[in-house]
Amino acid sequence: DNDNDDNDNDDDRKLLDQNGFFAFYTYIDELFENPAEEDEAEGENGDENENEKGQDMNEDDDLDLDDPIAESNRIKADLVSYLEEMTATAKLNKQLTCGLDCTDAQREVIYDLITSLATIISPVNLVTSTYTSTSTSTNKKKKMSETNAMGDWDLLYTCSHAMLINRSLSGLGRSTSAKAQFQGLRKRLSGSKYLGTAEYIETFGGSGSGSGSGSGSG
């Protein structure tokens, strides 16, 4: 009987430990997601930075701030169209995609489009969407939910110095073999709020050769 009681107590402790962990994790996580507490942590400097950003936006005459949703969608469409056209041209000229062989002029166009897209505070833009603080009545950036990032993401463009030098993410693209020519990179995000996994799938190949891929996760 004593042995059975000891086993029952061990099982209870395991359940309590597991439940206690999730309760503790949720409590800590809510500390960072609570808008009111974020307002207090940011202080006056954070408010001044947000006000300066708002002034910079209002001074931009090229953007239609009266309809941020339409303007955000327009710039996003222009950016995607430009990247797709650049990718098609690179493939036609047997160059590397994802910006690894693009010109400085092309990078400048992409940079301007991304800057304009990041400037517009639109509710359809998960990166720049805001909420109104109840304590200070100012706009604050929302935190993006992890569920919005889950899935497969294909790289369209990068200005990463490491990738430009290595001609790929892994460095295999620096090989002189035609079969090691970089063709694309996919990032696969999965998991939950408590545990996430990122898997990188890199594709290689060349003209007249088959393609292959390698992956790594973290």
Of 124 and 52, more confident: 124
Pairing state between β 196-205 and 181-191? antiparallel
Is the pLDDT confidence value at 42 over 60?
A: no
Instruction: Report the alpha-carbon distance of residue 121 to residue 64 in Å, rounded.
Output: 11
Tokens of 213: 């891929």
Is the pLDDT confidence value at 27 over 50?
A: yes
Res. 29 pLDDT band, cuts 50 70 90: low
pTM of structure: 0.61
Spatial strand order in the sheet of 151-154: 151-154, 181-191, 196-205, 212-217
**Predicted local confidence at residue 40, as pLDDT:** 47
Res. 46 pLDDT band, cuts 50 70 90: very low
161, 160, 155, 151: which is closest to 183 by C-alpha? 155
Of 65 and 159, more confident: 159
Asked if 96 contacts 182 with a C-beta cutoff of 8 angstroms, the reply is yes
**Predicted local confidence at residue 60, as pLDDT:** 45
**Predicted local confidence at residue 11, as pLDDT:** 52
**Predicted local confidence at residue 160, as pLDDT:** 94
pLDDT tens digits, 154-194 = 999 999 999 999 999 999 999 888 888 999 999 999 988 78
Most confident of 16-30, 126-140, 145-159: 145-159
